[in-house]
Structure 1
Amino acid sequence: MTSFSASDAALEGFHLIRRRWRIVLGWAGFNLLSLIMLIVLSAMLSVIAGGGRQAMALAGLVIGLSVLFAQAILAAAVFRVEMRPEEPAFMHLRLGRDELRLVLIWLITLTGGWVLWWLSMLAGHAVGAGGIWLELAAMALAVYFGVRFALTPPIGFAERKVDFPGSWRLTRGRAAPMLGMLALSACLIGLVMVTVMAALAVIAFASGGLDGLAGIFGGAEAMKRHPGLFLLAFAIEIILTPVLWALAMAPLAAAYRAFAGTDPPPLGEPLRL
């Protein structure tokens, strides 16, 4: 096992962006293409559904799964850069078993979290006024399970299997540094988002005052009044999405490499577009 630093691992996403910034920009292009395809798919499904409630629900499910798969492709691309950079793929983007495995892991995780929340709410209502402590205990338990199972996605990518027990074994005795890494990573992601939004708000306010602020946070009407600001906010959102995925997934890959004892990819590898 190589040494593990929670702070270094949390910063791995920034190192990835610095080393592979061209690829991250390429991922922004993929994000834009995915959004365009999603809009087209939504329009097609709306026409096919014909306004029926069940048909619209099915259309919503299809769109939700499409978004999930698109995000899984980005997350897997981050893992591919971090753990299998030599694997052939255009900008490290693929749609295959690795991505399907990530979707399955996320669905299992979301289902488990929902079940735990539902049981805590049920127990809280049964107990009555003291149920708040059960809900707090359930939240603490959810955080603990989240930390212990956090390495399931990188394990799924690196070892090509859905292995929740494997994550539990790798994080045994390392829950505290893992929690520190995840907390620091979440704070850094939040800081990036707040900084970007604050800068965008300053630009909008300087350009059009309060009406300019409405131009970036409003809908179609805002786009008509301030198309330039609206498009700027849209472009930043397209670029920010892969950046956030890099900041979120790269630390998990770094933690997996440290705990599993695998060597990191060479930093001097030439960029591939």
Structure 2
Amino acid sequence: MTVFSATDAAFEGFRLTWEKPKTLLIWTGFFLVVNLLMPLALFGLGLNTQMAALEEVSRNPSPDPDVAIESMAALAPVYAILLPAGLVVLAMIAAAVFRLVLDPEDSRVHPVQFGAEEARLIVLALAYTLLLLVAVVAAVLVGGTIAGVAATAGAGPFVGILTSCALMAGLVYIAVRMSLGPVITFSEGRIAVFDSWAMTRGLVWPILGAYILAVIAVAVFYLLSLVLVVALGALVSGGDLQSVGRMMDPEMDSLETFFSPGRVLMMLFGALMSAVFHAVMSAPAAVIYREIRQRRAEF
């Protein structure tokens, strides 16, 4: 018996943004404000140079663990701002998407807001982060033990590859089984850390299929949109692709160089892409939860 349509769940975010242009405009405005305020905060606190260093590290990560740790330690003030702000932003937009999927007749026109629902999502995200760290450490310990035993027996490389694949599959399985936790927490007004495990029993493959379809769809949408924007930027700049590149990766030397007209346009494009991306990635879990709940109510 089909509990939900993986295709419908995967494309729900696109349907919402197409049928609710006013909501898409609100979400785009929210991300535009975030895109404008975050650089202002970093410049105001004198962390613009650290932000530039963070972008350089993300583009060219060092293979040396010691260097990587030193870089992260030096960038701690930037992380101290970006990580909490990111959690708040993600909780607010996820709650807005959940609200739209679960209560489409909501008279508030689905504003992005911060309240108890969003706060619970942040607490759940922190709990999930701790559980992820425990799972990763356990996987590394198990993998290392198996690899050591296999190396002693002379079958190290082959067993190591199989073990890595098995552990990765296990982590994906756990992630899928726990993936409805945020929408359960939002809908039921309590921090539901493990409730998703029971709700997703026997539905791992269709749920995983919905998530994979959503990722592929949003990736294609983003790439096509980016090609269009680059083409328009090249047309406006007379074919100067370097100027288009500077709009996408501006200098962090001063507010004037950062907030160039071209950069502001790119921020607007990024805000629109962020609104669509989060709608597409958050909606499937809400649809799946809604359909499972309705099916259970029928029986």
* Matched AA of 1:236: F
Cα deviations by residue, 1:236-271 (Å, 9 ceiling, x for unpaired): 0011111111111111111111001179xxxxxxxx
Distance 1:122 1:75, change over 3 A: same
Structure-1 residue corresponding to 2:205: 176
> Runs of at least 4 residues of structure 1 off by over 6 A?
53-56
Distance 1:254 1:205, change over 3 A: same
Q: 1:136 aligns with which of 161, 165, 170?
A: 165
* Structure 1 gap segments, 5+ residues each: 48-52, 264-273
CA contact (8 A) 1:189 1:244 kept: yes
Q: 1:67 deviation in Å?
A: 2.0
Distance (Å, rounded) in 1 between the aligned partners of 2:181 and 2:79: 28
Structure-2 residue corresponding to 1:233: 266
Q: 1:205 aligns with which of 204, 214, 234?
A: 234
CA contact (8 A) 2:128 2:193 kept: no
Structure-1 residue corresponding to 2:290: 257
Structure-2 residue corresponding to 1:103: 122
* Matched AA of 1:75: A
Q: How many residues align?
A: 258
Q: 1:145 deviation in Å?
A: 0.9
TM-score (structure 1 length as normaliser): 0.81
* Matched AA of 2:197: W
Distance 1:37 1:217, change over 3 A: closer
Distance (Å, rounded) in 1 between the aligned partners of 2:259 and 2:112: 34
TM-score (structure 2 length as normaliser): 0.75
Structure-2 residue corresponding to 1:215: 246
Structure-2 residue corresponding to 1:30: 30
Distance (Å, rounded) in 1 between the aligned partners of 2:40 and 2:260: 22
Task: Give yes or no for the alignment of 1:63 onto 2:78.
Answer: no
Distance (Å, rounded) in 1 between the aligned partners of 2:104 and 2:120: 19
CA contact (8 A) 1:215 1:226 kept: no
Structure-2 residue corresponding to 1:119: 138
Cα deviations by residue, 1:79-135 (Å, 9 ceiling, x for unpaired): 111113455657422211111111122222233223322332333344244434332
Q: 1:62 deviation in Å?
A: 3.7
Task: Give yes or no for the alignment of 1:9 onto 2:40.
Answer: no
Distance (Å, rounded) in 2 between the aligned partners of 1:62 and 1:115: 25
Distance (Å, rounded) in 2 between the aligned partners of 1:41 and 1:210: 30
* Structure 2 gap segments, 5+ residues each: 48-71, 149-155
Q: 1:205 deviation in Å?
A: 3.3
CA contact (8 A) 1:215 1:225 kept: no
Distance (Å, rounded) in 1 between the aligned partners of 2:22 and 2:249: 31
Distance (Å, rounded) in 1 between the aligned partners of 2:2 and 2:144: 47
Structure-2 residue corresponding to 1:80: 99
Structure-2 residue corresponding to 1:270: none
* Matched AA of 2:141: L
- Aligned-residue Cα RMSD (Å) equals 3.2
Distance (Å, rounded) in 1 between the aligned partners of 2:135 and 2:22: 41
* Matched AA of 1:256: Y
Distance (Å, rounded) in 2 between the aligned partners of 1:147 and 1:125: 25
